[in-house]
């Protein structure tokens, strides 16, 4: 069985839009999507509020209640029958996110088991046949076929095969 390594944030979970909704509700500032193109959605928030965004990322509960990326549940449920699926999230930078990410995953993707979740700091440690991720830093060292999952912060990246949404993933992996 071929192994597909799937990222969490911005691929199956949506912390960016959760943060933007919260920020607009409480502070009403402008989000600068151009700035995100430097590689991180955090820098799209006004600089004087970066600390608020970081505080929220670090606080218990934030990663527990994130929206699910459209169609990811249905497509991954199908893929899980044909591939060895591993969800791999760079999470150790955010110690309070660890259990939240686990609880979130098993709530929304109950067909996955605990053996299929990896929480790490540096994804160069994992290997497999395919990797779906929104960050170049994670794809860069991967030994297999790399797919850049489209997100607001990577729209300017070229030179990578892209998956724009989970319907496209279904076409690649399930047809």
Residues forming contacts to its own copies in the complex (CB under 8 A) are 3, 5, 86, 88, 92-93, 95-96, 98-99, 102-103, 113-122, 125-128, 143
- Compute the least distance from the CB of residue 71 to its own copies, in Å: 25
What's the token pair of residue 136?
Answer: 């170049």
Query: Looking at beta carbons only, is 40 or 143 nearer to its own copies?
Result: 143
Cα→Cα distances 34→26, 30, 40, 162, Å: 22, 12, 11, 20
Active site residue 7: yes
CB of 93 vs its own copies, minimal distance in Å? 5
Q: 168: closest CA among 87, 80, 75, 86? A: 75
Instruction: Name the minimum Å distance from CB 119 to its own copies.
Output: 5
Residue placing its CB nearer to its own copies in the complex, 26 or 81: 81
Q: Which residue in 9, 14, 100, 133 is the catalytic one? A: 9
Comparing CB distances to its own copies, the nearer of 58 and 155 is 58
| 14 vs 11: CA distance, rounded Å | 7
Q: Tell me the HSE value of 13 on the side-chain side, using a 13 A CA sphere.
A: 27
Joined together, the tokens standing for residue 50 give 């970066």
Catalytic residues: 7, 9
């Amino acid at each position: 069985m071929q192994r597909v390594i799937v990222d969490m944030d911005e691929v199956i979970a949506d912390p960016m839009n959760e943060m933007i909704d919260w920020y607009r509700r409480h502070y009403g500032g402008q989000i600068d999507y151009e700035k995100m193109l430097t590689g991180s959605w955090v820098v799209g928030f006004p600089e004087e509020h970066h600390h608020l965004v970081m505080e929220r990322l670090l606080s218990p509960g934030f990663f527990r209640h994130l929206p699910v990326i459209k169609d990811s549940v249905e497509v991954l449920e199908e893929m899980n029958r044909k591939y060895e699926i591993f969800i791999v999230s760079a999470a150790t930078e955010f110690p309070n996110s660890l259990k939240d990410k686990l609880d979130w995953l098993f709530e929304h993707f109950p067909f996955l088991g605990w053996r299929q979740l990896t929480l790490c700091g540096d994804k160069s440690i994992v290997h497999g046949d395919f990797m779906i991720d929104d960050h170049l830093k994670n794809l860069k060292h991967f030994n297999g076929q790399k797919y850049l999952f489209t997100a607001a912060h990577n729209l300017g990246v070229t030179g990578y095969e892209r998956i724009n949404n989970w319907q496209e993933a279904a076409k690649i992996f399930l047809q």
